[in-house]
Amino acid sequence: MHRVYLDNNSTTQTDIRVLEAMMPYFHQYYGNPSNLHAFGRETKEAMEIAREEVASLLSAKPAEIIFTSSGTEANNLAIKGVLRQVADKGNHIITSSIEHSSILNSLEFVKKWHLAEIAELGVDKNGLIEPEALKQTINRNTVLVSIMHTNNEIGTIEPIKELCKVTHDAGIYFHTDAVAAAGKIPLDVNELGVDLLTISAHKIHGPRGVGALYLKEGINIGSIMHGGMQEHGLRAGTENLPGIVGFGKAAVIAKKDLLDGTVQKIEALRNLLEIQIAERIPDVKINGHPSKRVCNLLNISIAYVEGESILMNLDLEGIAVSSGSACSVGKAEASHVLKAIGIEDKFINSPIRLSLDKNNTKEEIDYTIETLVKIVERLRAISPLWKPKKK
């Protein structure tokens, strides 16, 4: 059986070079980086090299990188950390209606405990946020704006630079969740102008269990985990050294891939997939912006078939895709992202997210297209709603 992995926005395969870099730190180098003896110094040095490597991917300073256990933890730290630090100035936070669950659920938590008031910006049919809408929503109690760089379900890239300017003109902090963008789009925190930014190792062929928060020099936030003074006192707990070393190596590889044509190869395969599906399957909708979209992602809705039925049938043929964010699996309701962009009823329950990476081949894409066409034809043949157009 063919085995084709097109679910890279859920997680990526750990690069063998990353694994090789990590291995010595499971057994050979095992000292606690917080200790001053030789065992601790050698692991501390490895951790700081990794910090430099992750910082380089973002054009940041090493001291601006805070290692966490995940992108989710980094998002929590950004939101709750800012809120703790500026509680005397206000408690109004602005976000968007298409954020990742780690943002929306964190905000729901602080709202439930009466720690903050939340405003959600709507998006247009392509998932874009208007800077003017943000400007109109800011009030004198606003202390933070958190808007994702690239949507993890539909791939739309937000105008972060413009949104950040509006926010800074009002004297407010700006955070962006860039987990879905890292390794696929050059990220320069200085050019973007953001104050806080989140990335995750396992989305760029690094290990699971490690993420990072970029925190601009000079900005103070409160800790949400209490214990030791690791990570500048912002993330208590002995560091995941093998994971951090792997994150550093993955960041080095990702930066190289941005420059050597790898991204363009991924985009070409994604475009082939999109064009062929649109040509060969009637009543298909491409979700997300037609051009302001991350290179590896294709989110489609196919009318008159259930997305999960397509997913399961593809799985039987060895093809892995998803119906949306991996963090939303198990929810019976339609995607909040598709609801936010106002998708038609006939498309709302049939989203399929195909996310590619540098390991995918044209042969895999061709096989996926042929298989998907047959599956849709088979499912529509038993659908009471499907009425094929007469030629």
Which pLDDT tens digit goes with each residue over 251-293?
999 999 999 999 999 999 999 999 999 999 999 999 999 999 9
Mean of all residue pLDDT scores within the chain? 95
pLDDT score of 278: 97
Q: Sketch out the chain's domains with CATH numbers.
A: 4-12+261-381 (3.90.1150.10), 16-257 (3.40.640.10)
pLDDT score of 391: 58
Q: Using an 8 Å Cβ cutoff, are 131 and 181 in contact?
A: no
pLDDT score of 341: 97
Q: What are phi and psi of 238, to 5 degrees?
A: -60, 135
**Residues 75-127: tens digit of each pLDDT:** 999 999 999 999 899 999 999 999 999 999 999 999 999 999 999 999 999 99
Q: Distances in Å between the alpha carbon of 372 and those of 8, 77, 216?
A: 18, 41, 45
- Cα dihedral sign, 234-187-60-43: positive
The terminus-to-terminus CA distance of the chain in angstroms comes to 35
pLDDT of residue 9 exceeding 90, the answer is: yes
Q: Using an 8 Å Cβ cutoff, are 124 and 154 in contact?
A: no
> Is residue 164 annotated as part of the catalytic site, yes or no?
no
Nearest CA to 228 out of 218, 215, 216, 238 is that of: 238
pLDDT score of 330: 53
pTM for this model (two decimals): 0.96
**Strand pairing class (211-215; 65-68):** antiparallel
Which residue intervals of 37-100 are DSSP H helices?
Answer: 38-57, 71-85
Q: Kindly name the residue from 118, 185, 327, 348 that is annotated as catalytic.
A: 327
**Residues 134-172: tens digit of each pLDDT:** 999 999 999 999 999 999 999 999 999 999 999 999 999
Q: Distances in Å between the alpha carbon of 379 and those of 272, 313, 383?
A: 23, 10, 6
Q: Would you put residue 295 in left (φ > 0), alpha (ψ -120 to 50) or beta?
A: alpha
pLDDT of residue 331 exceeding 70, the answer is: no
